[in-house]
Structure formats: C-alpha cells, structure tokens
Amino acid sequence: MSLRATLILVVALGAAGGGCVRIDGGAVEVSWVVRSADGQAITDCSCASPAISSVRLDLVGVGPTIGGNRPCDGRAQCVFACQRQTGSTPFDIPETPKGEMYQISVTALGTDGAELSGSDVMTPAPILRSVSRGQPTEVEAFLLVARCGCGETVDGGMNTSGVCTRP
C-alpha cells in the first residue's frame, strides 16, 4: 500500500471512529482530596479508615421545573475511583432552566459499595451550580475528611513525613 493510500485510510478511520461526543445536556466535573482531621494528606484512598473505594457524584435539582430531579441516581457514570481524585459525567445532565440549579455533592463509598457515614468520612455541604447544554460545569475540589489507617503508627497512623501512605 502506498503512503498516500495509508494516509487516506488513517484519516478515514479517524473520522469514522472517534472525536465525537454525544451532547444531550451538560456535564458536571468534580474533584476531591482526602485529608485527616488535622490536615495531613491521605494520598492512598485505601489508607483511609475505613478505606474509600470510590466517590459518587450526587445531583439534586432545585427549582419549580427540575426540583427533586436526581440525574445521577443509580448511574455508574457518576461513580469514580477515589484514587482518580476527579470525575466527569457524560454530556447528558439535563440543562437547568433560568433561575434553577443543582445541589452538587459527593458521597464516599466503601470497598463494599456502601455509603460511608459522616462519622467515617466527612464531606462538605452541597453547593449550587447551573448546568448548560454542551458545557462542562466545574466545581471546586471537595475536601473529604477521614481517619488514617496506614503507614507507620507515628502520631495516630501518620508516618514521619506527615502523609498517610502505605509503607
């Protein structure tokens, strides 16, 4: 096959196979960090006590049109591995009408997929954001506060560097 034929084939396959994102609404992008109550970094989510396996994005509509809508409930696309420290939904979150918003929050999930209680992992209160079709809605990083369960047992599980990690 000639170089020209190869280039044409590559361009045709690239155009047919990718580069397009289906847009049926807006996207919501979140990030998070895990720290101990005294502010030490927990860099390995499995070192939180109890271990945090994943983080679920929760959206609740606020307003007369979307009030009570929960577009992330039961959707795997709204659950992200904790180690990623970031996640984004597809562009399918229904747009918020003018003056309406979503309450955006995160929930820490344990290794069994169950929600970790507020006494195990504290998360901040929901924040309000609007969602626009075809646009990502970015949210400031959420702070998850947990106990350290790994590392050398210097000062309650923290190693001498002040970071909770596996030794």
Asked whether residue 62 is domain-assigned, the answer is yes
How many domains are contained in the chain? 1
User: Which amino acid makes up residue 153?
Assistant: T
Asked whether residue 5 is domain-assigned, the answer is no
Owning domain of residue 133: 26-162
CA distance linking residue 167 with residue 155, whole number of Å: 15
pLDDT of residue 39: 86
pTM: 0.80
Q: What is the CATH number of the domain that holds 32?
A: 2.60.40
Instruction: Compute and round to an integer the Cα radius of gyration of the chain.
Output: 20
Asked whether residue 17 is domain-assigned, the answer is no
Asked whether residue 19 is domain-assigned, the answer is no
Asked whether residue 4 is domain-assigned, the answer is no
- Comparing CA positions, the residue from 86, 55, 66 lying closest to residue 129 is 66
Q: Which residues of the chain have pLDDT under 70?
A: 1-19, 151-162, 166-167
Asked whether residue 18 is domain-assigned, the answer is no
Q: Which residues of 118-150 are buried (b: 16+ CB within 10 A; e: fewer)?
A: eebbebeeeeebbbeeeeebebeebebbbbbeb
What are the tens digits of pLDDT across the range 120-150?
Answer: 999 999 999 999 999 999 999 999 999 998 7
Asked whether residue 142 is domain-assigned, the answer is yes
Asked whether residue 21 is domain-assigned, the answer is no
pLDDT of residue 6: 37
